[in-house]
Structure 1
Amino acid sequence: MKDAFGAPQSLLVLGGTSEIGLATARRLVARRTRTVWLAGRPSPALDAAAAGLRELGADVHTLAFDALDAASHETALGKVFAQGDIDMVLLAFGILGDQVRDEGSPLAAVRVAQTNYTGAVSASLICAKALQTQGHGSLVVLSSVAGERARRTNFIYGSSKAGLDAFTQGLGDALHGSGVHVMVVRPGYVRTKMTRGLPETPLATTPEAVAESIETGLRRRSEVVWVPGALRVVMSALRHVPRPLFRRLPV
């Protein structure tokens, strides 16, 4: 259960090597989170992530999880919830892809869509059902400002995040009043390994800043969190730019 301050005592990170996921885990462990599950493909990186959190004093477990293998999700995630209640699930997996390459390779484009959308839909529904059975808990899903309006430079990735964002908001409405809190997080450009080598955009942020915003959103029981907050205004304006003009923008 969450403590008197609303901080989760147990955390499941789907995407156990995600830099944002781990920054969030470190921040919560520094508060009151004591049990952490890191779900991801078995690898030295996943083991190292678990070791790092153990050094901070958390009881950490790893779980073999593949976003692309939806048939295995119910069994894999069921193992976590069978061990006890989970106060917070953070869905942090996803891939950016390569827009230019993926346009010419439909299978590569489909992999982006399956990872970011269908894999996330499967995992979210399974975790949401488990949280609902508990009667409490938060499901936090990392979306992206890229999903707010498809851009020529990354519409494959952006469309997958648009679908995920809409799905998560609908799931939150469906679970309203059940005791389960659903929160969508919309970061802009985050300085991670995934974006290394790409041109940095205005209002760029860090995994640590996203983690701080997630913690604040949890405390406030927010439904949507923008990181940084100024992106709410920026994206609201971009959504209303006429399409002929939008095509000319360097975005």
Structure 2
Amino acid sequence: MKDAFGTPQSLLVLGGTSEIALATARRLVARRTRTVWLAGRPSAALDEAAASLRDLGADARTVPFDALDPATHEDVLGKVFAEGDIDMVLLAFGVLGDQARDEAEPLSAVRIAQTNYTGAVSSGLICAAALQAQGHGSLVVLSSVAGERARRANFIYGSSKAGLDAFAQGLGDALYGTGVHVMVVRPGFVRTKMTAGLPEAPLATTPEAVAEAIETGLRRRSETVWVPGPLRVVMSGLRHLPRPVFRRLPL
């Protein structure tokens, strides 16, 4: 169960090598979280991530998980929940892709959609049902400001995040009053390995800043979190721009 300050004692990360997810896990472990499951494709990086959390005092375990193989999700995730209650699930997997290549190679674009949206729908529904069955817990979904309005520079990635965001918001409404809390996190440009080499956008942030915002959101039981906060106003303005004006922006 969560403590009096809303800190989870157990955490399941879907996307166990995500820099944002690991920054969040480290922050929570420094508070009260003691059991951490890192779900991801088996790799040295996944094992190293678990070892780093053990060094901080957590009981960190790995579980094989592939967002692109939804037929296995129920079995894999069911085994995790069978080990005991999970206070928080952090859905943190996703791929950015390469817009120019993905436009030219539709199968690459489909892979982005399947990872960022289809895989999230499958695993999100399974985890939500498990949280509801135990009667408590939070499902935290890493969305993106890119999903607020599709931009020509990354409309494939943006559209996948738009679908994920709408799914998570609707799921939160469906679970309202059940004891399960759904929180959607919308970061802007985050300085990670995934974005290395890309032009940095205004209001760029770090995995640690996103982790801090997630912890604050959990404590407040927020439903939507923007990182950094001023992006809420910026994206509201962009979302309501007339389309002819929006098209002229260098986005």
Normalising by structure 1, we get a TM-score of 1.00
Which consecutive residues of structure 2, in runs of 5 or more, have no partner in the other structure?
A: none
Give the partner amino acid of 1:2.
K
Q: Determine the structure 2 residue equivalent to 1:112.
A: 112
What aligned pairs does 1:82-161 form with structure 2 within 5 A after superposition?
82-161=82-161
Q: Determine the structure 2 residue equivalent to 1:166.
A: 166
Deviation at 1:6, TM superposition (A): 1.4
Give the partner amino acid of 1:204.
A
Please give the secondary structure, in 1, of the residue aligned with 2:5. Answer: coil
Q: Determine the structure 1 residue equivalent to 2:183.
A: 183
Q: Determine the structure 2 residue equivalent to 1:243.
A: 243
Deviation at 1:239, TM superposition (A): 0.5
Q: Determine the structure 2 residue equivalent to 1:60.
A: 60
Deviations 1:187-231 (A, max 9, x none): 000000000000001000000000000000000000000000000
Please give the secondary structure, in 2, of the residue aligned with 1:247. Answer: helix
Cα distance between partner residues in 2 of 1:44 and 1:114: 24
Q: Determine the structure 2 residue equivalent to 1:223.
A: 223
Q: Determine the structure 2 residue equivalent to 1:29.
A: 29
Cα distance between partner residues in 1 of 2:239 and 2:31: 38
Deviation at 1:69, TM superposition (A): 0.1
Deviation at 1:157, TM superposition (A): 0.1
Please give the secondary structure, in 2, of the residue aligned with 1:238. Answer: helix
* Pair 1:212 & 2:220 matched: no
Cα distance between partner residues in 2 of 1:5 and 1:134: 20
Deviations 1:113-163 (A, max 9, x none): 000000000000000000000000000000000000000000000000000
Please give the secondary structure, in 2, of the residue aligned with 1:181. Answer: strand
Deviations 1:70-122 (A, max 9, x none): 00000000010000000000000000000000001010000000000000000
Provide the aligned C-alpha RMSD in A.
Answer: 0.4
Please give the secondary structure, in 1, of the residue aligned with 2:76. Answer: helix
Q: Determine the structure 2 residue equivalent to 1:70.
A: 70
Please give the secondary structure, in 1, of the residue aligned with 2:194. Answer: coil
Deviation at 1:3, TM superposition (A): 1.2
Please give the secondary structure, in 2, of the residue aligned with 1:216. Answer: helix
Q: Determine the structure 2 residue equivalent to 1:194.
A: 194
Give the partner amino acid of 2:189.
Y
What aligned pairs does 1:7-26 form with structure 2 within 5 A after superposition?
7-26=7-26
Cα distance between partner residues in 2 of 1:232 and 1:250: 20
Please give the secondary structure, in 2, of the residue aligned with 1:185. Answer: strand
Number of positions where the alignment pairs a residue of Structure 1 with one of Structure 2:
251
| Runs ≥4 residues deviating over 2 A | none
Deviation at 1:174, TM superposition (A): 0.3
Give the partner amino acid of 2:199.
P
Cα distance between partner residues in 1 of 2:248 and 2:49: 42
Q: Determine the structure 2 residue equivalent to 1:39.
A: 39
Give the partner amino acid of 1:214.
I
Q: How much identity, in percent, do the aligned residues show?
A: 84
